Structure 1
């Protein structure tokens, strides 16, 4: 047979192991893994992967694109954000349909995002969001589920904009159980945050240099435990976004031990940066919620990520520029919070996990691609194997680059990793079987990204094994030869 694309002599790294193979692609799907001892078949295009690792394209389950929150609008369109994603080895993003104000219904916010996805350069999924409960919400959530939106974001803070009250959170969780959905939760205890911020303001300590003081670690830890109690009561599966403290992750582990279905996500900036950034020369580059934590918390997060207590590393991409950040740098209550990160997620996570913590590349692949695909109901993503989408990334483990945010492709003029040397950058990126990035040369594929409906939530720990991956238990040579035949 003739392949559309053949990647030869690849060291294929999946979450469950690695092997050497030629990887054949036809019509945007991986159609063969061939033994590297066989003669090279015919292909329309061939890419030599010698000396590099071939991993599944990244799945970033936590992105905010073209979003209006309060007084600020983020600066990236789907074209810009997904172009940045591809430059950074991410081939699927999941965005949020968050109501821009009290007048916008959750279903309307979702439809607005669906229209915007038409300019995407890679595949896109969506989460819904509910801010205020009323009698129409169940019907709206049913309509979301029919569209393949199987998760709903709930904020426990941000009073007056995106915050959902306790009754709303409980009712949405009950609906997630009914509809086969997953509750995504931003957990910070609002009363603690509001009171602590007011105390800082009274002492004239409410500038960006004081951000970490206005949102203490205790506010996150307390909120996580409260949400876990509501989830236990309702029986809802819960996914905690951007966890920053060891205690918060430990609470998730304890809940799992009790039989709850719960997931932990963190972000690269919480793995590489600590609260000392707020006394540096440009603290506005690190305005995000939750804020950076002490260095000891960073070490604790990495340790928990290494043992599998943290499931996913997502970007929490939110694209503002320095002019927006600096407009109210002396009052964190008025600043836009959120960091650009969809393009740097891969090298930043790789550097933290593999280069600095010494974790295996397989664990990085799990957190970067496999787990977010599995948890979020994207069954053809996150694995390099026959039958999966040909979303693929080649990387040279020895290559390093120093980050210059102004030269990235995210629609802003900075990165929280400016000046940092990172490992694990992609050298070749394939999306839907098309090579879009090769040795630094980017070929814009145009608006080829597809909206990807997601399947109903299934607990990955209780799901049956994927038949396409069952063969990995067999000897490598036999597996590859069987696929080749």
Structure 2
């Protein structure tokens, strides 16, 4: 058997979340086998990419994607082939999807196993979150089975009454089980009674079209739900992760909990960092139908400040691939239209552009943290988020200066629009390597076929301890 490396990425500036170095990255059998100082000769390999003058970063880990998602009568139009291809186009080499029961007949375990089967068509690696809507005596056993499958997180919604919402009793019981199983509780935090009442008030006044979405889901609803959930997490001792936070108040509540010793994390999304509620007064407000909605320009600026100071731990896409025909069926009534935005492909340039609005305070290392390293570490995804010996050979030769204007019709997400259509963004992938194979370069996309692996995740605290040991003393090159 030949020991000649399959690929060397030579002479690049390797940027991890904890620092950078000039190095040759040696790749064999889908793994990074060595990093060699760039002052040394380039090792012989079957193929060499010269990255002189360019940045080499870990492949992105998108911790929040919805693939082939069924919600009521709507189904997103993508499949794993489509979404994983779009992810790779955007420099993301691992996606984490959700197994959410589509109705009362589908159990949490069934939902995850169904997604795991669908993921066989993925072009990149896939991990999964579970989801619980209602508690019964089988849930502890189901969560044990999910943990055995390598699914170590469970999502619950505090809103969407009658569909995906979990009540407080269910949330507390699931949190206890996740502590027992060394898992992580994911929370979509919006206070359902406030949202239900506010939405009904608007409907009674005839203000229920898409142009009013942002007024029906106030910031207070998000922040009260975060506060209540943090109390439940403190009571149970459960680590908790809040998806798509949109307000500085919500992020501050998590920061305050962390200062008291709680294990709590804040995620936001690219659209909440860059778009504001004036979008609902635009010619195409349906492009921005998501929950929570866009916030005021002042709130967006304050949220971005939290990103700059490190209070936001990950930036995920919350990718949901509906098209405009689905969005436009019921723009007259936000209660009857599908919510969610396509974004797995644009997560890299939108996040980088947002961070680099203040380059004096932010670095590429900061970008790597929220784009790749943080999502991998917090979600206990082994082998991801770092360019280092023994890690998976997922990396991006990244051009921090390349600027493009987004054309939503020419992206690869299986839909016909993007909320960033016409927006100038900086920081795009030039070369993408996934599992040691070049999937994107100057010649275009090279479809690797359905080679994506299901990634079994580690226990939350087990992984955190192991990662702390690794990054506290990175191997010399």
TM-score using structure 2 length: 0.97
1:160 deviates by 1.1
Aligned length, in residue pairs: 474
1:94-114 CA distances to partner (integer Å, 9 max, x unpaired)? 000000011111111111101
Give 2:209's aligned residue: 207
Contact 2:126 2:452 in 1 (8 A): yes
Partner of 2:121: 119
Q: Which of 441, 445, 466 lines up with 1:442 in the alignment?
A: 445
- How far apart are residue 326 of structure 1 and its match? 0.6
Distance 1:357 1:84, change over 3 A: same
Equivalent position SS for 1:398: strand
Structure 1 residue 302, shift from structure 2 partner: 1.3
**d(CA) in 2 for partners of 1:8, 1:412:** 37
Q: Is the 8 A contact 1:131 1:154 kept in 2?
A: yes
Alignment of 1:354-373 (within 5 A): 354-355=356-357, 358=360, 359-373=362-376
- Deviation at 1:157? 0.3
Deviation, 1:468, is 6.6
CA distance in 2, matches of 1:203, 1:49: 60
Maintained 8 Å contact 2:380/2:464: no
- Alpha-carbon deviation of 1:70? 0.7
Deviation at 1:137, TM superposition (A): 0.6
Distance 1:301 1:463, change over 3 A: farther
- Residue 476 (structure 1) aligns with: none
2-structure distance, mates of 1:147, 1:30: 26
Q: List aligned pairs for 1:5-20, cutoff 5 A.
A: 5-20=7-22
The corresponding residue for 2:415 is: 412
Does the residue aligned with 1:390 lie in a helix, a strand or coil? coil
SS in 2 for 1:263: strand
Task: Select between 210-219 and 45-54 the one with higher mean Cα deviation.
Answer: 45-54
1:452, distance to aligned residue in structure 2 (A): 0.4
- SS class of match (1:39): coil
Structure 1 residue 379: deviation in Å?
2.4
User: 1:92: how far off?
Assistant: 0.2
Cα distance in 2 for partners of 1:238, 1:464 equals 19
CA root-mean-square deviation: 1.3
SS of aligned partner of 1:435: strand
CA shift for structure 1 position 465: 2.8
What 5-or-longer segments of structure 1 have no aligned partner?
A: 473-478, 481-485
Return closer, same or farther for 1:205/1:468 CA change in 2, 3 Å cut-off.
closer
Partner of 1:396: helix, strand, or coil? strand
Distance 1:459 1:325 in 2: 42
Aligned mates of 2:463, 2:400 — CA distance in 1: 30
Rounded to whole Å, the distance in 1 between the matches of 2:184 and 2:385 is: 19
Alignment match of 2:225 (pick from 223, 226, 232): 223
Partner SS state of residue 108, structure 1: helix
Under a length normalisation based on structure 1, what TM-score does the superposition of the two structures give?
A: 0.96
